[in-house]
Structure 1
Amino acid sequence: MNQLSATDVWTVVAAALVLLMTPGLAFFYGGMTRVTAALNMMMMSFVSIGLVGVVWVLWGSSMSAEPGWVPGIVGSPWRDFGLGESSASGDLLAAGFSGTFAIITVALVSGAIADRTKFGSWCVFVPVWITFVYAPLAFMVWTDGGLFAADGWIGKALGETIDFAGGLVVHVNAGVAGLVLCLVLGVRRGFGKDADHRPHNLPFVMLGAALLWFGWFGFNAGAAADAAEAGLIWINTLVCPAAGMLGWLLVERLRDGHPTSLGSASGIVAGLVAITPACANVDPGWSIVLGLVSGAACCLAVGLKYRFGYDDSLDVVGLHLVAGVIGTVALGFIATDDNGRAGLFYGGGVGLLVAQVVATILTAVFTAVVTFVIAIAVKKTIGFRVTPEVEERGIDAVSHAESAYAFLSGASAYPGDRDRAAVAEHRVSDGEQGKHTAS
């Protein structure tokens, strides 16, 4: 029997840290929504754990790591179906660790369509998206023979893309998917007007940000090759989000006259996203610069949805897409030497910069096209958006017959109990909701 090594122990711990990030995200997103949709928002994260966990064991892991289906693009879903081959060899840790990344990625997408998404349709979207978007992209970036790997088509032409922990696979991917979904579903009622879409529970948001930051040390350092690399990743994962928070708060102070708790939590996430692809390849000093830039840029970017009219409910685009692009492309300038490939500022020329930009563009195009096809298919068949009546009343009461809070007033301490008949009246079948999907 093989002995459990220190590396194995760390992988187990890191995977658990990354898994904790999804409940942390549930708090982060749940606190940002209206009170009548908080549970639905949190459920979208939690159900992603259930759905992706099963899909990843059955075929997702095989598609992201095993060659044999579409060369350079995606592996075979059957080669290690149900992780049978991995079980026989006793090599399951890598599959478990990578599965937690798939879970958090699709959960991130949900924030773009908060307050208006049918729970059943989300449960259909998640496994399909993991199968046709996430798993192929993970193969392209992280697996030998993948499109952007050293021996892949693009890698041979431009050099291997650097994406240590998921700037492309997780954040650009989730940000683009979120943008596509919010365009397909349309804006919430009263978006940009007089409707109150402010966060209902800012302590939840800050708790969620804290849990995300805690779990991110496993997210970034889980694949560290040695103690020196782990130390660099740890420091970068500390200082970049710290600087991201400061950058965001500075912009708020100069622009609005006051820093906010929501801004501090969002700045932390912006810095975490930006350092994800670069955590093993930049010096701590540059991590501070990267954090300041990403925090300030994301603070400015989240307001673009009002100018351009796309309802990115919880700023998935403004945080994950923007900071993901910044962190990925910045490597072309500030990456220290990595197997003979350095950024422009370290004498590496423009080669790495070109590779990072091309990979970012191709990732965005791939995700946008495939996500759009999936979203339209869901919308045209079972419907993707709740009816205006359900949205107005609140998804929690109608879809889940629950409320996030029990208010001790009136005849009942539980809002969901006051009018079960009304809840039943508003509850409609998926088919009926599909007929009345809001434009």
Structure 2
Amino acid sequence: MVTPFWVVAATALVLFMTPGVAFFYGGMSKMNSAVNMMLMSFVAIATAAVVWVLWGYSMIGGEGFLEMFGNPFAHFGLSGLTESAELVDVGFGSTFAIITVALISGAIADRAKFSSWILFTVLWVTLVYCPMAYMVWGGGLLSADGALGSVFGEALDYAGGTVVHINAGVAALVLVLILGRRKSFGRTPEPHKPHSVPLMMVGAAILWFGWFGFNAGAATEVAEVGLIVVNTIVAPGAALLGWLLVEGLRDKRGTSVGAVSGIVSGLVAITPACANVSPLGAVAIGLIAGVLASLAVGLKYRLGYDDALDVVGVHLVAGLWGTLALGFFTLPTEELAGGLFYGGGGGQMVSQIVAAVFSILFTAVVTGVIGFAIHKTIGFRVSAEVEEAGVDFAQHNEFAYSPEHAAANGSPAGRTGGVGAAKS
């Protein structure tokens, strides 16, 4: 039996993932927007944690409204739970809400108002994340007894394929379409490159480290933990190889950006399946995730949506694949018939498709309402002058590096004339 102390350790691991996202996105971003990029992740910790304690946790359980969300005032401020062992689960659940909203930020790098982002995180966790968590994990619409789950079967999502990654990926795409493309998008001969490869790779390492808590935190048996840990090791490894294979065939060379993006795509894909597939299944899921995500990131140039740090290509595509892969690779048990490759028929695949389609539609519609409301009222995008100069100084009066260092590396952040005068 896994003890509550493991859940506490897993909570710390998952919370550490969001600073990992900050390093990962900060390294991938432009030099003159790295501070802003990292702060967007750190402020997500603050806003999501406060929302979770005040009303978010109440919304993911209990008697639901139309099977979509629980009563936000049932345990407002965690009333009635302050001396309960349930608080361990409250803390663990908060870290999932935190990292999900933080993941979205990479798509709108270089052009979002910081104040608008803060407001967005509060609204999005409340109106999108919490309802999705309730519908999948809290006994709502997509659960075994829910309206859709009882008809089409319960979709498997052990650690967040729909609730976290499809959710974040769709929200990222919607925000990108609302804010529009950066002025430089598609005009440079080469795609945007990270300003700090070491920072990016440190962030990816932190993510992989924390992901063991992310996937295995809810495990109840040692054997289950073991399977999840092995799958969380091998799927990202296979995805890294899959991504580098595509780069090698297409570009004749592998890159560090490709390697770490492959790792993340494998982690994303194995998240919903980590407890329900064999290690061989995890290898296949990871390898295909790396190939699919590496091909998907190039779609933004063909389709014209400016997903700055490839949140859509990695999280939405790999999250969709991981969710649907359960229809093929689910191991048969006393409760589960198994996936297609185990002779279980198409029932599990139908369940996975229904959950994926519903999560895409729900998240797209509600995120669109939130995003447009902010964009048309207080504004979501900085001015063209701020975007050109870099959002760090205009939004935060700070630089990631000294102006002299930035100027020596060709960044506008080093040329303070005009930057200080730029208005958001």
Could you say whether these structures have the same fold, taking a TM-score greater than 0.5 normalized by the shorter chain as the test?
A: yes
- How much does 1:398 deviate? 0.7
Aligned-partner residue type, residue 181 of structure 2: V
CA distance in 2, matches of 1:355, 1:315: 28
CA distance in 1, matches of 2:405, 2:112: 30
Call closer, same or farther: CA 1:410–1:126 in 2, change over 3 Å: closer
CA distance in 1, matches of 2:342, 2:232: 22
- How much does 1:154 deviate? 1.0
Work out whether 1:224 is the aligned partner of 2:223. Answer: no
Work out whether 1:172 is the aligned partner of 2:166. Answer: yes
CA deviation map 1:253-308 (0-9, x unaligned): 11100000111000000000000000000000011111110001110110000000
Work out whether 1:21 is the aligned partner of 2:21. Answer: no
Aligned-partner residue type, residue 253 of structure 1: G
Work out whether 1:185 is the aligned partner of 2:179. Answer: yes
CA deviation map 1:157-197 (0-9, x unaligned): 11111000000000000000000000000001120112873
Work out whether 1:149 is the aligned partner of 2:143. Answer: yes
Call closer, same or farther: CA 1:216–1:120 in 2, change over 3 Å: same
Equivalent residues in 2 for 1:122-271 (5 A)?
122-144=117-139, 146-194=140-188, 197-271=192-266
Alignment check: 8 A CA contact 2:276 2:330 kept: yes
Equivalent residues in 2 for 1:331-410 (5 A)?
331-338=326-333, 339-406=335-402, 408=404
Equivalent residues in 2 for 1:26-41 (5 A)?
26-41=22-37
RMSD: 1.9
Work out whether 1:89 is the aligned partner of 2:71. Answer: no
Counterpart in the other structure of 2:302 = 307
Counterpart in the other structure of 2:318 = 323
Work out whether 1:45 is the aligned partner of 2:41. Answer: yes
CA distance in 2, matches of 1:85, 1:134: 23
CA distance in 1, matches of 2:406, 2:360: 51
Call closer, same or farther: CA 1:417–1:248 in 2, change over 3 Å: closer
* Structure 2: 5+ residue stretches without partners: none
Alignment check: 8 A CA contact 2:55 2:77 kept: yes
**Relative to structure 2, which stretch is displaced further, 264-273 or 80-89?**
80-89
Report SS of the residue matched to 1:402. coil
CA distance in 2, matches of 1:186, 1:54: 30
Equivalenced residues, count = 420
CA distance in 1, matches of 2:180, 2:407: 37
CA distance in 1, matches of 2:403, 2:421: 23
- How much does 1:411 deviate? 12
CA distance in 2, matches of 1:106, 1:60: 13
CA distance in 2, matches of 1:299, 1:417: 34
CA distance in 2, matches of 1:366, 1:340: 27
Alignment check: 8 A CA contact 2:407 2:414 kept: no
CA distance in 2, matches of 1:282, 1:333: 9
Work out whether 1:113 is the aligned partner of 2:120. Answer: no
- How much does 1:91 deviate? 1.9
CA distance in 2, matches of 1:410, 1:203: 17
CA deviation map 1:202-224 (0-9, x unaligned): 11111111000000000000011
Aligned-partner residue type, residue 329 of structure 1: L
Call closer, same or farther: CA 1:401–1:155 in 2, change over 3 Å: same
Call closer, same or farther: CA 1:395–1:410 in 2, change over 3 Å: closer
CA distance in 2, matches of 1:95, 1:213: 23
* Structure 1: 5+ residue stretches without partners: 429-439
CA distance in 2, matches of 1:53, 1:270: 26
Select 1:11's aligned residue among 7, 11, 20: 7
Call closer, same or farther: CA 1:334–1:389 in 2, change over 3 Å: same
CA distance in 2, matches of 1:78, 1:398: 39
Aligned-partner residue type, residue 65 of structure 1: G
- The alignment-based identity, stated in percent, is 57
Equivalent residues in 2 for 1:421-436 (5 A)?
422-428=418-424
Call closer, same or farther: CA 1:410–1:213 in 2, change over 3 Å: closer
Alignment check: 8 A CA contact 1:401 1:423 kept: no
Call closer, same or farther: CA 1:417–1:180 in 2, change over 3 Å: closer
Aligned-partner residue type, residue 213 of structure 2: G
Alignment check: 8 A CA contact 1:401 1:416 kept: no
Aligned-partner residue type, residue 323 of structure 2: T
Call closer, same or farther: CA 1:88–1:248 in 2, change over 3 Å: same
CA distance in 1, matches of 2:256, 2:405: 30
Alignment check: 8 A CA contact 2:56 2:126 kept: yes
Please report the TM-score for the alignment, with normalisation by the length of structure 2. 0.96
- How much does 1:423 deviate? 4.8
Equivalent residues in 2 for 1:285-300 (5 A)?
285-300=280-295
CA distance in 2, matches of 1:197, 1:295: 20
Call closer, same or farther: CA 1:424–1:408 in 2, change over 3 Å: closer
Report SS of the residue matched to 1:86. coil
CA deviation map 1:89-135 (0-9, x unaligned): 34201111010000000000011100100000001100000000000
Please report the TM-score for the alignment, with normalisation by the length of structure 1. 0.92
- How much does 1:406 deviate? 1.7
CA distance in 2, matches of 1:72, 1:6: 31
